[in-house]
Amino acid sequence: MLETAFASWSMEALLPRLAEIGVPAGRVRTLDEVYGWDQTRSQGLVVPVQHATLGPLELPGPPLRFFATDGTELTRSSHTAPPTLGEHDGSVRKWLEN
């Protein structure tokens, strides 16, 4: 029923009409659109890192933000790139031996 009701509307016409009558709505974005969106970047949801073999990368940032009771933000602000294959083999084996 919903598909039939909205099939004749374009997104460009429908979203302003829904807003006008008080129905919260938005278009579904692709991942490329989400990570290129100014709001995503302004909220720290994309973090730059330097990878040992790939160079500069952008990774998804933390989805949650944490604050102390005085309002100071406690969200982690430094991020590291994913490890290269085998980078931590020695330390993992040592840990497993204990």
* Dihedral sign (CA 25, 28, 33, 34): positive
- pLDDT tens-digit map of 47-92: 999 999 999 999 998 888 899 999 999 988 788 899 999 999 999 9
Please answer whether residues 10 and 27 qualify as being in contact, where contact means their C-beta atoms are separated by less than 8 angstroms. no
Please answer whether residues 66 and 73 qualify as being in contact, where contact means their C-beta atoms are separated by less than 8 angstroms. yes
pTM of the model: 0.59
- pLDDT tens-digit map of 1-37: 989 988 999 999 999 999 999 999 998 999 999 988 8
Name, in order, each residue with C-beta under 8 angstroms of 44's C-beta and a sequence gap of 6 or more. 61, 62, 65, 75, 77
